[in-house]
Homo-oligomer: A and B are copies of this chain.
Amino acid sequence: MEVFHLYSGGKDSSLSAHILQLLGYEVKLVTVNFGLLDSWRFARETAERLGFEHEVLFLGREILERAAEMAIADGHPNNAIQFIHERALEAIASLPHVERVSDGTRRDDRVPFLDLPRARSLEDRFKVAYIRPLLGMGYKTVRELVERYFVVEIRESEELEKSDYEVELRHLLREMGVDPLAIFPRVHHQSRVLGWRK
Protein backbone atom coordinates (compact mmCIF):
# COMPACT_ATOMS: atom_id res chain seq x y z
CA MET A 1 0.00 0.00 0.00
CA GLU A 2 2.17 2.85 -1.29
CA VAL A 3 1.20 6.45 -0.62
CA PHE A 4 2.91 9.46 -2.23
CA HIS A 5 3.01 12.24 0.32
CA LEU A 6 3.65 15.90 -0.51
CA TYR A 7 6.50 16.84 1.77
CA SER A 8 8.09 20.14 2.77
CA GLY A 9 10.13 18.98 5.75
CA GLY A 10 7.89 21.00 8.07
CA LYS A 11 6.00 19.88 11.16
CA ASP A 12 2.66 19.17 9.53
CA SER A 13 3.95 17.18 6.60
CA SER A 14 6.32 15.25 8.87
CA LEU A 15 3.59 14.40 11.37
CA SER A 16 1.19 13.27 8.68
CA ALA A 17 3.91 11.12 7.07
CA HIS A 18 4.44 9.47 10.43
CA ILE A 19 0.72 8.78 10.85
CA LEU A 20 0.56 7.18 7.40
CA GLN A 21 3.48 4.94 8.35
CA LEU A 22 1.80 3.97 11.64
CA LEU A 23 -1.24 2.97 9.57
CA GLY A 24 0.91 0.54 7.63
CA TYR A 25 1.37 2.53 4.44
CA GLU A 26 4.65 2.46 2.54
CA VAL A 27 5.28 6.20 2.54
CA LYS A 28 7.15 7.89 -0.31
CA LEU A 29 7.83 11.53 0.41
CA VAL A 30 7.68 13.86 -2.58
CA THR A 31 8.96 17.43 -2.57
CA VAL A 32 7.95 19.68 -5.42
CA ASN A 33 10.55 21.97 -6.96
CA PHE A 34 10.60 24.33 -9.92
CA GLY A 35 14.35 24.25 -10.60
CA LEU A 36 15.05 27.82 -9.47
CA LEU A 37 16.63 26.91 -6.15
CA ASP A 38 17.78 23.65 -4.62
CA SER A 39 15.53 24.32 -1.64
CA TRP A 40 14.30 20.70 -1.87
CA ARG A 41 17.56 19.74 -0.12
CA PHE A 42 16.17 20.76 3.29
CA ALA A 43 13.23 18.39 2.91
CA ARG A 44 15.61 15.65 1.75
CA GLU A 45 17.75 16.18 4.83
CA THR A 46 14.77 15.96 7.19
CA ALA A 47 13.38 12.95 5.33
CA GLU A 48 16.72 11.18 5.79
CA ARG A 49 16.88 12.02 9.47
CA LEU A 50 13.40 10.57 9.92
CA GLY A 51 14.20 7.52 7.78
CA PHE A 52 11.73 8.07 4.94
CA GLU A 53 12.24 7.51 1.23
CA HIS A 54 12.24 10.85 -0.54
CA GLU A 55 12.05 12.04 -4.11
CA VAL A 56 11.89 15.41 -5.83
CA LEU A 57 9.25 16.11 -8.44
CA PHE A 58 10.22 18.94 -10.77
CA LEU A 59 7.29 20.95 -12.08
CA GLY A 60 7.37 23.33 -15.03
CA ARG A 61 8.54 26.85 -14.25
CA GLU A 62 5.41 28.23 -15.94
CA ILE A 63 3.35 27.09 -12.94
CA LEU A 64 5.50 29.16 -10.61
CA GLU A 65 5.37 32.10 -13.02
CA ARG A 66 1.59 31.94 -13.16
CA ALA A 67 1.50 31.80 -9.35
CA ALA A 68 3.80 34.84 -9.12
CA GLU A 69 1.48 36.77 -11.41
CA MET A 70 -1.49 35.82 -9.23
CA ALA A 71 0.34 36.91 -6.07
CA ILE A 72 1.27 40.26 -7.63
CA ALA A 73 -2.26 40.88 -8.90
CA ASP A 74 -3.80 39.93 -5.52
CA GLY A 75 -1.22 41.64 -3.33
CA HIS A 76 -1.18 38.52 -1.15
CA PRO A 77 0.00 34.96 -1.71
CA ASN A 78 -3.06 32.85 -0.85
CA ASN A 79 -4.37 32.11 -4.32
CA ALA A 80 -0.85 31.54 -5.62
CA ILE A 81 -0.06 28.98 -2.90
CA GLN A 82 -3.41 27.27 -3.47
CA PHE A 83 -2.73 27.16 -7.24
CA ILE A 84 0.71 25.57 -6.78
CA HIS A 85 -0.62 23.02 -4.28
CA GLU A 86 -3.39 21.86 -6.59
CA ARG A 87 -0.96 21.53 -9.52
CA ALA A 88 1.46 19.60 -7.27
CA LEU A 89 -1.24 17.15 -6.15
CA GLU A 90 -2.38 16.68 -9.76
CA ALA A 91 1.16 16.10 -10.95
CA ILE A 92 1.70 13.34 -8.39
CA ALA A 93 -1.78 11.86 -8.88
CA SER A 94 -1.30 11.67 -12.63
CA LEU A 95 1.77 9.41 -12.41
CA PRO A 96 0.74 5.96 -13.64
CA HIS A 97 1.99 4.02 -10.59
CA VAL A 98 0.32 6.33 -8.04
CA GLU A 99 -2.86 5.07 -6.33
CA ARG A 100 -2.76 7.23 -3.19
CA VAL A 101 -1.69 10.82 -2.65
CA SER A 102 -1.56 12.65 0.66
CA ASP A 103 -0.52 15.88 2.28
CA GLY A 104 -0.23 17.54 5.67
CA THR A 105 -3.11 20.00 5.38
CA ARG A 106 -5.02 20.59 8.60
CA ARG A 107 -8.55 21.39 9.65
CA ASP A 108 -7.70 25.00 10.40
CA ASP A 109 -5.64 25.72 7.27
CA ARG A 110 -6.98 28.35 4.91
CA VAL A 111 -4.47 27.72 2.12
CA PRO A 112 -3.49 25.42 0.73
CA PHE A 113 -6.72 23.55 1.28
CA LEU A 114 -8.99 21.42 -0.93
CA ASP A 115 -12.65 21.68 -0.04
CA LEU A 116 -14.80 18.56 -0.36
CA PRO A 117 -15.78 19.01 -4.04
CA ARG A 118 -12.14 19.64 -5.00
CA ALA A 119 -10.91 16.69 -2.96
CA ARG A 120 -13.43 14.38 -4.64
CA SER A 121 -12.64 15.86 -8.04
CA LEU A 122 -8.94 15.06 -7.54
CA GLU A 123 -9.82 11.48 -6.63
CA ASP A 124 -12.24 11.05 -9.53
CA ARG A 125 -10.12 12.64 -12.26
CA PHE A 126 -6.97 10.69 -11.41
CA LYS A 127 -8.46 7.53 -9.88
CA VAL A 128 -6.55 7.95 -6.65
CA ALA A 129 -7.37 8.11 -2.96
CA TYR A 130 -6.50 11.45 -1.38
CA ILE A 131 -5.57 11.10 2.30
CA ARG A 132 -5.13 13.93 4.81
CA PRO A 133 -4.18 12.50 8.20
CA LEU A 134 -4.34 15.87 9.99
CA LEU A 135 -7.67 17.03 8.60
CA GLY A 136 -9.60 16.02 11.70
CA MET A 137 -7.22 17.74 14.13
CA GLY A 138 -7.13 21.25 15.50
CA TYR A 139 -3.96 23.14 16.39
CA LYS A 140 -3.84 21.82 19.98
CA THR A 141 -3.82 18.22 18.83
CA VAL A 142 -1.25 18.80 16.08
CA ARG A 143 0.96 20.65 18.57
CA GLU A 144 0.86 17.92 21.21
CA LEU A 145 1.60 15.21 18.64
CA VAL A 146 4.47 17.18 17.08
CA GLU A 147 5.96 17.68 20.55
CA ARG A 148 5.49 14.00 21.27
CA TYR A 149 7.35 12.81 18.20
CA PHE A 150 9.80 15.42 16.94
CA VAL A 151 12.62 17.71 17.91
CA VAL A 152 11.71 21.03 16.33
CA GLU A 153 13.89 24.07 15.85
CA ILE A 154 12.12 27.41 16.08
CA ARG A 155 13.96 30.42 14.68
CA GLU A 156 13.20 34.06 14.38
CA SER A 157 13.72 34.37 10.69
CA GLU A 158 12.21 35.60 7.45
CA GLU A 159 13.57 32.67 5.54
CA LEU A 160 14.41 29.54 7.40
CA GLU A 161 16.00 26.79 5.41
CA LYS A 162 12.79 25.34 4.07
CA SER A 163 11.50 23.46 1.08
CA ASP A 164 7.99 24.79 0.77
CA TYR A 165 6.56 26.57 -2.28
CA GLU A 166 7.06 29.94 -0.66
CA VAL A 167 10.85 29.86 -0.96
CA GLU A 168 10.95 29.66 -4.75
CA LEU A 169 7.92 31.93 -5.10
CA ARG A 170 9.68 34.64 -3.09
CA HIS A 171 12.81 34.11 -5.19
CA LEU A 172 10.94 34.48 -8.46
CA LEU A 173 9.19 37.62 -7.20
CA ARG A 174 12.58 39.16 -6.42
CA GLU A 175 13.81 38.17 -9.91
CA MET A 176 10.77 40.01 -11.30
CA GLY A 177 11.68 43.10 -9.29
CA VAL A 178 8.90 42.65 -6.72
CA ASP A 179 9.66 42.79 -3.00
CA PRO A 180 8.20 39.61 -1.42
CA LEU A 181 7.64 41.55 1.79
CA ALA A 182 4.99 43.55 -0.06
CA ILE A 183 3.07 40.31 -0.65
CA PHE A 184 3.86 37.86 2.12
CA PRO A 185 2.97 38.62 5.72
CA ARG A 186 6.02 39.00 7.90
CA VAL A 187 6.74 35.78 9.76
CA HIS A 188 8.88 36.03 12.85
CA HIS A 189 8.89 32.44 13.99
CA GLN A 190 9.50 29.60 11.61
CA SER A 191 9.97 26.00 12.60
CA ARG A 192 11.82 23.04 11.19
CA VAL A 193 11.81 19.37 12.16
CA LEU A 194 15.31 18.24 13.16
CA GLY A 195 14.59 14.60 13.96
CA TRP A 196 12.78 12.12 16.18
CA ARG A 197 12.40 12.81 19.86
CA LYS A 198 14.22 9.97 21.63
Q: Could you mark each residue 119-160 of chain A with 1 if its beta carbon is under 8 Å from any beta carbon of chain B, else 0?
A: 110010000011111111110110011001000000000000
User: What chain B residues lie within 8 Å of A136 (beta carbons)?
Assistant: 105, 131-136
How large, as a class, is the contact surface on chain A?
Answer: 20 to 34
Query: Which of B19, B107, B131, B133 sits near A116, CB closer than 8 Å?
Result: B107
Nearest-neighbour CB distance to chain B for A112, whole angstroms, equals: 14
| Identical subunits present | 2
Task: Write the chain B residue with the least CB distance to A132.
Answer: B136
B107 x A144 contact (CB < 8 A): no
Task: Report the separation of the CA atoms of residues A29 and B6 in the bound assembly, to the nearest whole angstrom.
Answer: 33
A95 interfacial contact with B, CB 8 Å: no
A187 interfacial contact with B, CB 8 Å: no
A24 interfacial contact with B, CB 8 Å: yes
B138 x A130 contact (CB < 8 A): yes
A28 interfacial contact with B, CB 8 Å: no
